[in-house]
Structure 1
Amino acid sequence: MRRVLHIGGVAALFVAGGCDRELEPELCPDVAEGGLVITEIRGEQSVKRTPEPDEQPIPDPYGEWIELYNASGGPLDLYGLQLRFLELDGSNEGTVIVRRSLTVAAGERTVLSYFADDALPAHVDYGWFPDFKSSDGSARSLFDTGVIDVHACGARIERVRPDGLPSNATWAFPVDPPDAAANDDALLWCDDGTGATDTEYAQGTPGESNRPCP
């Protein structure tokens, strides 16, 4: 874990002892490029409905989320980590920040989602709401196409480029162990719609190894 001082818009490393009390350090994870790997994304899903004649909408219990794998070789506290979203045409963007301690052991996965952090379902480890919300105050959906960047201590350490997130599945990277260079290749990703039916949503494998591509 490192501390970064923001002085006049410029980030500088914070050294304990001899610091100015008026400068407020921000914690951030000490992780190099490739130390965290995006391994699965669950975007907005097509609404399921109850059978005829009612055809009432069925709430999606799993929500939208992003799974990260710790490839750093040691435990990481993700406090201060940033995920930045940019829509393909550049018209929309957003940032979420991990605002509390979130430890991930080496070789393990963690799941970040649009839920509120005090109301998490069992498969989610951190909720970023109210970061990245819509104009009406609700949680905003992930962009179907664009860029997802992971930043730590002011540096970009990971990037993926979804080109149309599936609406009846997760988008999963099944290479094991996950590698941040390999996941740049969209051909190595695939849709995981396991369990999806007319009335059931695909859950994916949050926090677990991904299923092999068909």
Structure 2
Amino acid sequence: MIERVLELEEGIKEFVEQNESEEIQKYKLSDLEWIALKCFKTILAVPHAFQQKLSHEMTPTLCYALPSFEGMMKAWENLKIDHPDTTNVIQAGLDKLEVYRDYTDIVPAYLLSMMINPSMKLKWIRKNLPTQLSRIKRLFIAELRPYYNNIVTNNSPIKQRSRTAHEIAEEEANAILGLDTETLSPGHAGSLEDKVEAYLLDPTYFQ
């Protein structure tokens, strides 16, 4: 609605100026109010972008929640600098976001969804939560443990991921050089920890 009003700003001003009706004149905006409206549009564009980022119909988007959430807070912090007169308005929104961020800290799904996304894995976590990296990896392993143990207990075959071109080339090089592949690549050993480490060391895809 605000965006549409701003698109019609000149037409609205002209209409109000030409109509002396008291009923119309009471809705006339001052120059400062028009400026404020433009600021509000900029401020509200931030949560709108957040909503758009998480509104895909066919693609899981939970993995984008934390990065987008932090991006929204940073964008609003920057707007406080660009538009100091709106600081109180923006801060009220930031205070509310802080409350919701506390909730995300106790829900592991947000972090785990990033780790199982092959285009993200630990990329965002390493950059933004480096001090929590070890804890998050332990959390990931702990969540996988029951499923892994069930597969091992039932002797169910574990579907192997496709080898990367680098791994194939490395195996060929090891064969030519007479080197022990398993010794040189402990990340692909049988334990859950090793398998997780191998997965996280693989390059991210679809960048």
TM class by shorter chain equals: under 0.3
TM-score by length of 1: 0.25
Which structure has more relative contact order (CA 8 Å, sep 6+)? It is 1
* Higher helix residue share: 2
TM-score by length of 2: 0.25
